[in-house]
Chains A and B, each alone.
Chain A
């Protein structure tokens, strides 16, 4: 079996270290193989655009390749990759906002949130599920930065608050505060939809912690 086959047991950091020193294409291919899915998902959540997400994913790995000298072997590769991808997503979203491709952006205080209607009921269950997904996607795109980033990293990508703090370079407490604000904004945005969906149990059983299935760090 080749040293850096997809089934290789080498850690991300070991693989990256080899790539950093020897520019071994097999090592880089292994990193891409392991991480392109999570990075693509992050870009998709952050931009809500599949094609942009694909481009940003490629750009993320291009930058990783170009800046491999900047990576410190003591740091986690995942943290480095998340950071590159998030910065690219922020740049892309800013560019879209400047060019008017994003129709509405709420203020930092969320003052416009109450005017956004993201709920449009549909008669069929399947369509309704798609519609609900669209509503979530649209609402999430209206959550302001930096709160959206924390929401995406925590909820969808499964990073712990501590890990998000490492990625963003801020204290863990700040991450939690941003999570509170992001969740609050999203709750307000989703309120019409929440009022229409079947009532969820409000007993403490509903507050069971989310299963941790996505954390890779």
Chain B
């Protein structure tokens, strides 16, 4: 190491900048040349270089890949299987119903045979309903008559009571007047 190089020691900031490749090209070459000749700067740069390599030993785990939202493919086979089963059940039900149902001609004959009986039944029901209506009407008329009679009777009783009360009141007034005009006879 010569004195000229000593005099031209790069700053520590320059050495760091050189290690991280942030020196201008000209200065970079000068510092590199100095480090090759100056033991003191060489030692410092080596230590830092070692430290930088050590720093690289701490590696972070790679982040988990972004899970893009993707629609799951629709399993049409599954849908098709259930649709087929449903169609089968409905078809069998329909077929069973058709096979077990009476023929249209038999239904018409049955309806014609039952018609007279149904007519009798309807007539009997109507007669019974009319009878019930008459009975109810009679009951209501009886109740109304009774109510009118009760009202008249009550009115008569009240009028009799009023007349009697008036007579007794007049009698009492007369007695009060007599009592008030009574004077005790003078003793001899």
Chain A residues close to B by CB (< 8 Å) = 6, 33, 36-37, 40-41, 44-45, 50, 129, 132-133, 135-137, 140, 151, 154-156, 160-161, 173, 176-177, 179-180, 183, 186-187, 190, 193-194, 197, 200, 202, 204, 206-207, 209-210, 212
Contacts and interface: CB of A to CB of B under 8 A. Distances in A.
B49 A133 contact: no
A200 B16 contact: no
Contact of A207 (B12, B18, B58, B59): B18
B57 A129 contact: yes
B63 A37 contact: yes
B59 A133 contact: yes
Top-4 shortest CB links A-B? A209-B21, A176-B13, A136-B58, A132-B57
Most chain A CB atoms below 10 A, which of B32, B50, B53: B50
A200 B12 contact: no
B22 to A, nearest CB: 6
B46 interface: yes
Interface of B: 12-13, 16-22, 32, 35-36, 42, 45-55, 57-61, 63, 66
A202 B20 contact: no
A37 B63 CA distance: 7
Q: Is the interface of A mostly helix, strand, loop or mixed?
A: helix
A180 B57 contact: no
Most chain B CB atoms below 10 A, which of A135, A137, A209: A209
Given A206-B46, A207-B45, A136 B54 contact: yes
A200 B53 contact: yes
Contacts of B52: 155, 183, 210
Contact of B21 (A132, A133, A204, A210): A210
Contact of B18 (A6, A133, A209): A209
B22 A160 contact: yes
Contacts of B16: 176, 179-180, 183
A186 B48 CA distance: 9
A202 B47 CA distance: 9
A210 to B, nearest CB: 6
A133 to B, nearest CB: 4
Given A133-B57, A183-B16, A209-B21, A190 B42 contact: no
Contacts of A187: 47-48, 50-51
Contacts of B53: 200
A136 B55 contact: yes
